Amino acid sequence: MNGVINIITKNAKATSGGLVSADLGTTENAHGLVQYGGQIGQTGAYRVFDKYSNHGSSVFPNGTSAGDGGHMSHGGFRSDWDLSSRDTP
């Protein structure tokens, strides 16, 4: 099997300001995102974020918990700079 995966992300300059997102489900699932971005001087931009995810345990046909639930927190930072016209697409 052959294929191509192309992941396109937004420049930090395109996502300035704040963002808060939450998603709650009926099966003990929850997801959240907090993100903020802004300018750094005349030529830079940044974005910081933190994501949280919580997955409840699966249930066996007899009703007992499978014990496979879990949670994850993931944070990160991105900065983009326009150093010269040659560096900007």
pLDDT, tens only, 38-79: 999 998 999 999 999 998 888 899 989 888 889 899 999 999
Q: Beta 17-24 vs 44-55: how paired, if at all?
A: unpaired
Q: How is the chain split into domains, by residue range?
A: 12-83
**Residue 74: its pLDDT value, please?**
94
Residues in Cβ contact with 50 at an 8 Å cutoff, skipping those fewer than 6 apart: 33, 34, 35, 73, 74, 75
Q: Given a cut of 70, is residue 88 above it in pLDDT?
A: no
Which residue has tokens 């929850």? 30
**Stretch 17-40: mean pLDDT, rounded?**
91
**Residue 89: its pLDDT value, please?**
60
Distance CA(73)–CA(31), nearest Å, equals: 10
Mean pLDDT of the chain: 88
pTM summary value: 0.70
Across the beta sheet with 70-81, what order do the strands follow?
A: 17-24, 30-40, 44-55, 70-81
